[in-house]
Amino acid sequence: MQVFFSLPLLLCHVTVVTGVAGCHGDRDKDNRPRQNCTAGGFSDIPSGLDPTTEVLLLPVNQLSSLSWSNYKMFPDIYEIDLTTNKIHALLAGSAGVLLLSLRVLRLGSNDMEILRDGSFSPCPSLTELYLPHNALTSLPDNIFAGLSKLEILDLSSNKISVLPPNLIQPLIAIETLYMDYNKIQVMPDDWFSVKDIPYLYLSANPWLCSCSLGYLNGYLNDYEINVYVRDGADINGDAESVVCASPESSWGEWLTHYLPSMPWGVILPSDSPSAE
């Protein structure tokens, strides 16, 4: 009789999980409720997902845009992964939409060419933002305004050729900045508003070595211990990974060793080796 009565009691504690076709629910390493909809053929957020979801994985799908208002159904959303979709635009959505709990946003390997000022205003609590392998050619000066908690920013493997002077000024908490594999030739003076960025990636850019890179040359020499390069999963400190691409006479020269030409009219002191 004891077994007969304990069986229904046991069944009362079984949680019945109902899922959305193409997705499955579990928990991440920090025990956050997660919905994994990877490669489900979705062109929009699937309906019927649990609103208590905190981690939403939608990589390798067919989404073509991102509207923040579509995610307000998840009041505690912590991470959104939209890697490898077809997103070409970030839409503002309804006015006043805020995703205050969102910390991690992954938008790598999409089709974005342009980002507008205010694109990330709805998620002011972001600590990690990944935008690699898109087709971004330029960025607005205030694109990251309000992201004072951002610690990791990945802009690698785009087509960025010009750095706005104030691009990273709002990023007072930045610790890791990926700018490698772009088309950057020149860095504006005083660009690093946060002087000491512990992990900085600048390699594989066609740096134009001239007087205009005097600031970057000085910065790299002051903080060369913070400059890294990636080789697959391997990460190594290597300030000498930042090299000149032009002019031809300076091709391959390390920026840390590059000496900008002296401007006209400057007279070197008589005891200078270069004055002999």
Question: How do residues 146-191 score in pLDDT, each as one tens digit?
Answer: 999 999 999 999 999 999 999 999 999 999 999 999 999 999 999 9
Q: Would you say residue 7 has pLDDT above 90?
A: no
User: What is the pLDDT at residue 248?
Assistant: 85
User: What is the pLDDT at residue 258?
Assistant: 72
Q: Would you say residue 9 has pLDDT above 80?
A: no
More confidently predicted of 256 and 23: 23
User: What is the pLDDT at residue 271?
Assistant: 44
| Architecture of the 35-184 domain | Alpha-Beta Horseshoe (3.80)
Instruction: Report the distance separating Cα 216 and Cα 232, nearest Å.
Output: 26
User: What is the pLDDT at residue 96?
Assistant: 72
Q: Would you say residue 266 has pLDDT above 90?
A: no
For residues 120-126, average pLDDT: 96
87-111 confidence digits (pLDDT tens):
999 986 556 779 999 999 999 999 9
Least confident of 9-23, 98-112, 130-144, 187-201: 9-23
What is each CA distance from 128 to 2, 8, 146, 171, 179, in whole angstroms? Answer: 54, 46, 14, 11, 15
User: What is the pLDDT at residue 189?
Assistant: 94
For residues 31-49, average pLDDT: 97
181-222 confidence digits (pLDDT tens):
999 999 999 999 888 999 999 999 999 998 888 899 999 999
